[in-house]
Amino acid sequence: MDTHVYALKSWTIRKQGKAFYIAASAQSGKHAWRGPYANLQRATTAIARKLQREFTRRSNRGARA
């Protein structure tokens, strides 16, 4: 059984008023904010979908090697 470990992107959430915004955490401090999301659950679900796509892309790339 093969084991694969992936370090996925980290994400930042910003709350502004009642809206939530997400961005991949940036080393340079310049975030590309996405949103607004109506609540925290929607913001974190958006992050989960993005992480799932990243994992699937990497997993498929590793399967071809």
Q: Read off the pLDDT of residues 4-63 as tens digits, 9 standing for 90 and up.
A: 788 899 999 999 999 999 999 987 778 899 999 999 999 999 999 999 999 999 888 766
Write out the E strands in the chain. 11-16, 19-24, 34-37
Rounded Cα distance between 43 and 2, Å, is 33
Enter the tokens of residue 58: 């990497």
Interacting residues of 43 by C-beta distance below 8 A, sequence separation 6+: 13, 20, 21, 22, 35, 37
pTM confidence score: 0.83
